């Protein structure tokens, strides 16, 4: 078995920024697991199944990228998956504090797991799931920032939420 990296996150929803990171990571690793956290502190727009389905559809042409969900501590999931690396993307210095704390916590929980950071592609520096949801909720276009399947799902979800109001 080759070198496997785990790319964890909420992916609520997956964006082209995430896809760019995971595709570039494949140049460095034999396989990458995109691991979608089931228990996230913030409330998610999409269920874990919807987030997994969207990511699988968006990455269906990349057999070396496996999409899974996980529960509990990330380091435990990484060990079970027989991986040794946690991969995270960095968009700007503003990401650093949060990432530094997370990497340090994970290191204290399991010394044998390293966190590696990749700089986001300049085209996606400003792309985050949070801003994508905000733009889509207000009827703005997110075309070119998320895969088509995600664009469709966002439209459906916000239309349904609008009808409920
Ligand atoms: O996309 P996000 O929301 O920045 O991802 C954060 C995530 C899911 C990677 C992080 O919250 C996580 O690892 N959650 C699993 C629980 C855990 O292990 N917590 C301790 C590390 S901070």
One DSSP character per residue, 41-98 reads SSPPSS-HHHHHHHHHHHTTT-TTEEEEEE-S-HHHHHHHTT--EEEEEE-SGGGHHH
Q: How far apart are CA 33 and CA 67, in angstroms?
A: 6
Ligand 1 atom at shortest distance from the alpha carbon of 70: 15
Q: What is the pLDDT of residue 26?
A: 95
For ligand 1, atom 1: residue with the closest CA: 9
Q: Is 129 an annotated catalytic residue?
A: yes
pLDDT digits (tens, 9 = 90+) for 66-119: 999 999 999 999 999 999 999 999 998 888 999 999 999 999 999 999 999 999
The pLDDT value recorded for residue 2 is 87
Give me the mean pLDDT over the 25-39 stretch. Answer: 96
Q: Is ligand 1 within 6 A of the CB of residue 13?
A: no
Residue 115 carries which DSSP code?
Answer: E
> Nearest-CA neighbor of 79 among 106, 98, 56?
106
pLDDT tens digits along 42-80: 799 999 999 999 999 999 999 999 999 999 999 999 999
Query: Is 69 a residue of the active site?
Result: no
pLDDT of residue 1: 65
- Dihedral Cα 121, 96, 132, 141, nearest 10 deg: -40
Backbone φ and ψ for 141, nearest 5 degrees, come out as -85, 135
Tokens representing 91 are 């968009």
Residue from 9, 51, 92, 120 whose mutation best tests the ligand 1 pocket (most atoms within 8 A of CB) = 9
pLDDT at position 33 over 80: yes
Q: Is the pLDDT of residue 25 over 90?
A: yes
Among candidate residues 51, 88, 91, 153, the one labeled active-site is 91
Using the mean position of ligand 1's atoms as its centre, give its distance from the Cα of residue 76 in Å: 12
162 pLDDT tier (thresholds 50, 70, 90): confident
pLDDT for 1-12, tens place per residue?
A: 689 999 999 999
The Cα 100–Cα 102 span in angstroms is 5
What are the C-alpha distances in Å from 46 to residues 10, 14, 51, 74?
Answer: 10, 11, 6, 20
pLDDT at residue 23 greater than cutoff 80: yes
pLDDT band at 148 (very low <50, low <70, confident <90, very high): very high
CA angle 47, 5, 70 (to 5 degrees): 25
């Amino acid at each position: 078995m080759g070198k496997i990296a785990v790319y964890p996150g909420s992916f609520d929803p997956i964006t082209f920024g995430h896809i760019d990171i995971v595709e570039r990571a494949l140049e460095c690793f034999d396989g990458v697991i995109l691991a979608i956290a089931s228990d996230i502190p913030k409330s998610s727009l999409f269920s874990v199944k919807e987030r997994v389905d969207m990511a699988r559809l968006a990455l269906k042409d990349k057999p070396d990228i496996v999409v899974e969900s996980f529960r509990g501590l990330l380091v435990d999931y990484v060990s079970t998956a027989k991986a040794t690396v946690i991969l995270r993307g960095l968009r700007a210095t503003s990401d650093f504090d949060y990432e530094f704390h997370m990497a340090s916590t994970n290191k204290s929980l399991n010394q044998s797991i390293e966190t590696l950071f990749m700089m986001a592609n300049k085209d996606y520096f400003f792309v985050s799931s949070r801003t994508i949801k905000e733009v889509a909720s207000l009827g703005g276009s997110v075309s070119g920032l998320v895969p088509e399947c995600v664009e469709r799902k966002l439209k459906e979800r916000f239309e349904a939420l609008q009808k409920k109001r």
